[in-house]
Homo-oligomer: A and B are copies of this chain.
Amino acid sequence: MTPHTDARPPAAQPPAATRSAATALPGRPCSIAAALQVLGEKWALLAVRELFYGNHRFDRIARNTGAPRDRLTARLRALEEAGVVERRAYSERPPRYEYHLTGAGRDLAPLTQALLAWGDRWLSPEPPVVLHHHPDGSGGSDDSDDVGHPLDAAWTCRTCGVEVHSPDVSLEVRSPGWDHRGPAVPVGDAGTGP
């Protein structure tokens, strides 16, 4: 029931498996590419959505996402290896597991929220899900009368308190040999194509 943002610092360093997944990617050195290496397959983020919604068992995640079982199994395993999801046994005989978000997984809340907001704005005339914000801390509990207010989230810079708009942001590329256009002075790249 708590699908959203938790921007506190991470509790721990990411697992080694996750870090190694960030290296040896093609193209520009980039945290977006590294993140998509872990998350960039739609069943992964739909499984994460279900975990935010409180659905932790495989059958329910499969039913609610519509994911083919073999692909969902593969994505959950990859998310576990990347340190986004952890398995917890809830039965020993037979052995059965629930899936839960780790700290890194819960920190995906802004991402799922950004997807939801974009989909609501551009694809869904009648949003199938509406989020409510309870800044007094009562939120999410089923026995509370507090309905909060509709969440209207925007990126705001903590340093200056101003809402972030695209033209107000500039880019500093720190990867040796790259700038925003691509590799600096690339060999055999005198011109670009079609």
Contact = CB atoms under 8 A, between A and B. Distances in A.
B30 A49 contact: yes
Give this chain's copy count: 2
Interface string A23-34: 001111111111
Interface in A88-117: 94, 96-97, 104, 106-117
Interface in A175-193: 175, 178, 180-183, 186, 189, 192-193
Interface string A1-34: 1111111101000100011011001111111111
Interface string A68-103: 000000000000000100000000001011000000
A135 to B, nearest CB: 4
Contact of A157 (B22, B109, B151, B194): B151
B116 A31 contact: yes
B166 A109 contact: yes
A166 B101 CA distance: 13
Contacts of A163: 5, 7, 156, 158
A121 B137 contact: no
Interface string A50-77: 0011110111100111110000000000
Contacts of A189: 63
A34 B121 CA distance: 11
B169 A122 contact: no
Given A123-B34, A157-B135, A140 B170 contact: yes
23 contacts: A1-B180, A2-B171, A5-B154, A19-B123, A27-B65, A30-B128, A31-B116, A32-B45, A33-B49, A36-B46, A37-B42, A53-B171, A63-B186, A106-B166, A111-B111, A113-B155, A114-B114, A128-B175, A131-B169, A134-B168, A149-B159, A153-B155, A153-B164
